[in-house]
Structure 1
Amino acid sequence: MTTFSERPRTALMVIDVQKGVVAGAHQRDTVVANIAALVDTARAQGAPVVWVQHSDEGLEKGSEDWEYVPELPRRESEPLVHKTYGDSFEGTDLEEVLAGAGVGHLVVTGAQTDACIRSTIHGAFVRGYDVTLVGDAHTTEDLSQWGAPPPEQVIAHTNLYWQEQSAPARKAGVVETKDVTFSD
């Protein structure tokens, strides 16, 4: 029930699953495998797959750490959005990409849960999108030495509170990989 009534499609967003971002991520291999399964499902169902790739002074564009993990090959026909802020919409052409594909519902996966994932799901929701977070297809690194909860708690808390989001003419939710469908 997105606010974009003229944009009925659902897209898979794969955010920042880059070598340097997920190198020390919680359950990295399981999460990457779940995202790969979702990419396959989206492609098989004809849903757009939108790739987002972060760069900043700590993650230099063109470096090996900046590259996507090899388990997730992007097709040339699939859009790649380059970003430098946490929210994938800020300072990017993501909105134009989604509008051009008729997308009003986002299925979100990737890294880091407590940074770019949270920023993007909130950014999408306030911009009028329906937003589904795939609960077993996002991850973060352990930042507990700096006062953050352990990664499994960060992930669980994000999944918990995102289920309860609501706003006029929009839906939020959390599903597991096995339950995702891209049918409109």
Structure 2
Amino acid sequence: MTTLTDRPGTALLVIDVQNGVMAASHDTEAVVGRIEGLVSRAREAHVPVVWVQHSSEELPVGSPQWEYVLQLQRADGEALVAKQHGDSFEATDLEQVLAEAGAGRLVVAGAQTDACIRSTIHGAFTRGYDVVLVGDAHTTEDLTAYGAPAPADVISHTNLYWGFQTAPGRTAAVVPAADVEFAG
């Protein structure tokens, strides 16, 4: 149903599941395990897995904190998108990668819920993509000291509002990892 009519395919976006991001994230082990399962299922279904990797002062390129967590390894031929902004589309080649893959539907997992996940799902939706947020496969760190809600509440709220997102010709959904269907 995407507005990108020449792109009937699906892609799995794995966003910023890096050591420095996940070190203080909520329910890290379970979230990484679910993402690992999603990656495996996407590969079995011949659905492209697109890895997004953030760099910043806290995540310098090549540093241990910049590296993806050990449990998640990019396979040969899978796209890697380097980014420096919250929205994975901003100043990156993500749009080109997805166009070449014929993907108009995105399944999104990773971190951080209230930053790069939020920015990317909104950025994708406004660009015409159907966006499935994997409700139990995204996480964030505890920022309550700065006035933010607890991580579980941030995740819950994001899942709540994304399930009601609407726009002409596009769909938004929140689905648990176990129920994600990859239509290749």
TM-score normalised by the chain length of structure 1: 0.99
2:127 — aligned with what?
A: 127
Q: Secondary structure at the match of 2:171?
A: strand
1:63 — aligned with what?
A: 63
Distance 2:59 2:33 in 1: 23
2:11 — aligned with what?
A: 11
Deviation of residue 76 (structure 1)? 1.9
Q: Please say which of residues 53-62 and 92-101 is displaced more in the overlay.
A: 53-62
Deviation of residue 173 (structure 1)? 0.5
Q: Secondary structure at the match of 2:156?
A: helix
1:48 — aligned with what?
A: 48
Distance 1:150 1:139 in 2: 11
Distance 1:10 1:42 in 2: 9
Residues 18-40 of structure 1: CA deviation (Å, up to 9, x unaligned): 00000011000000000000000
Distance 2:79 2:109 in 1: 16
Q: Structure 1: which 5+ residue stretches go unaligned?
A: none
Deviation of residue 59 (structure 1)? 1.1
What one-letter code is carried by the residue in structure 2 that aligns with 1:153?
D
Deviation of residue 57 (structure 1)? 1.5
2:170 is the counterpart of 1:174: no
Residues 5-50 of structure 1: CA deviation (Å, up to 9, x unaligned): 1100011000000000000110000000000000000000110000
Identity of aligned residues (%): 64
Runs of 4+ in 1 over 3 A off after TM superposition: none
Q: Secondary structure at the match of 1:156?
A: helix
TM-score normalised by the chain length of structure 2: 0.99
Distance 2:74 2:24 in 1: 22
Distance 1:183 1:85 in 2: 29
Q: Secondary structure at the match of 1:166?
A: coil
Residues 140-163 of structure 1: CA deviation (Å, up to 9, x unaligned): 000001100000000000000000
Distance 1:119 1:70 in 2: 25
Deviation of residue 183 (structure 1)? 1.5
* Aligned length, in residue pairs: 184
